[in-house]
Amino acid sequence: MEQFHDFLAWAWPRHLNPLSWYIRPLFFLPIAYFCWTRRPAALALTIAALLTSFFWFPEPEEIDPAMAGVLEMEERLFADPTWVTWVSLAMIPVLLGSLCAAFWYRSLGWGLVVINGGLALKIGWTVANSGTDGLATLLPLGSGMVIMTAAVVWTARRRGLPLSLTGGRPGGHGSGPRAETAAR
């Protein structure tokens, strides 16, 4: 257990590096791609990378006080967990599972709902739990939302894919004459 605490003492300050905050939402793109292409091994590796990305970068020389405030709030929640902590932690696999399901079943519309809704909830949760310091998440998570939405919309338009909430590829599984006949 002491080794785990030593690891956290080493890793936690690296989470203050702004690159860590900006890169994490961008993992949703390869997760979406590997679900869409149904490549579970690549998906598992990407999720492992996402879960470890908070300590990839060096400890920053200068620390943004608002980011430090957010991490202090998170540290307090983990040091003395309440129901808020447990519900919040449970939302992580729910978000990842929903993201994977949306793209696995080829619904770009639901994928956008999950991406944008999940990141908006994270921003709201952070502001609710850390006050104005939580606004430090607005730029990294908001940028991630814009980049991912643009990438999904661009890909959909380029490939002629629907941005509906029903899923399916034109001419692929879940659409076409056989699917229409089965639905009748």
Q: What is the pLDDT of residues 80-98, one digit of tens each?
A: 888 878 888 899 899 999 9
Range 155-164 average pLDDT? 92
Q: Which residue has the higher pLDDT, 77 or 112?
A: 112
pLDDT of residue 116: 95
Average pLDDT, the chain: 86
Q: Mention every residue, 6+ apart, whose C-beta is less than 8 A from residue 47.
A: 31, 96
Angstrom distance (rounded) from CA 164 to CA 174: 13
% of the chain at pLDDT higher than 90: 53
Q: pTM of the prediction?
A: 0.81
Q: Band the pLDDT of 146: cuts 50, 70, 90.
A: very high
- Return the number of other C-beta atoms located less than 10 Å from residue 83's C-beta: 7
69-82 residue pLDDT tens: 998 998 888 888 88
pLDDT of residue 55: 87
pLDDT of residue 169: 54
% of the chain at pLDDT higher than 70: 90
> What distances in angstroms separate CA 101 from CA 57, 91, 104, 127, 157, one per listed residue?
30, 15, 5, 28, 21
Range 22-48 average pLDDT? 95
Question: With 90 as the cut, is the pLDDT of residue 9 above it?
Answer: no
- Return the number of other C-beta atoms located less than 10 Å from residue 139's C-beta: 12
Using an 8 Å Cβ cutoff, are 57 and 18 in contact?
A: no
